[in-house]
Homo-oligomer: A and B are copies of this chain.
Amino acid sequence: MASNQLSGSLDLLLLSVLERGEAHGYAVIARLRDVSGDAFDLPEGTVYPALHRLEADGLLMSRWDSSTGRRRRAYSITDSGLAALGEKRREWKAFSQGVQAVLGSLSRPGRPAQAAL
């Protein structure tokens, strides 16, 4: 995916990772990179503000964790977050099926001329 275009599904990705359990920002980034096979290598400047926003919206909550010596902010998903995740999953499904429908029904090299005039 060359240069990143997260598009609008960043929240979906973050909430999905955190559905699994508590994680801190840096780990979320690494997780997304690994699971997606390097498709998503998100800049910190994208992820941290998004986590803050999701927390401000009540979809995540956080605590400071000093157990490892190094200071980390550990995020976990709230009930609202789980609900929002469900909704965003539905939206993603509708969206990707919509794209698929357009690609599938129109992009096959049918008769090339005078389609929709």
A interface vs B, CB < 8 Å? Answer: 1-2, 5-9, 12-13, 16-17, 19-24, 27-28, 30-32, 35-37, 39-40, 65, 72, 74, 85, 89, 91-92, 94-99, 101-103, 105-107, 109-117
Contact = CB atoms under 8 A, between A and B. Distances in A.
Given A1-B91, A17-B116, A103-B16, A97 B22 contact: no
Contact of A117 (B9, B23, B35, B116): B23
A111 B16 CA distance: 14
Given A1-B95, A91-B2, A117-B27, A21 B112 contact: yes
Contact of A114 (B16, B21, B94): B21
Nearest to A99: B9
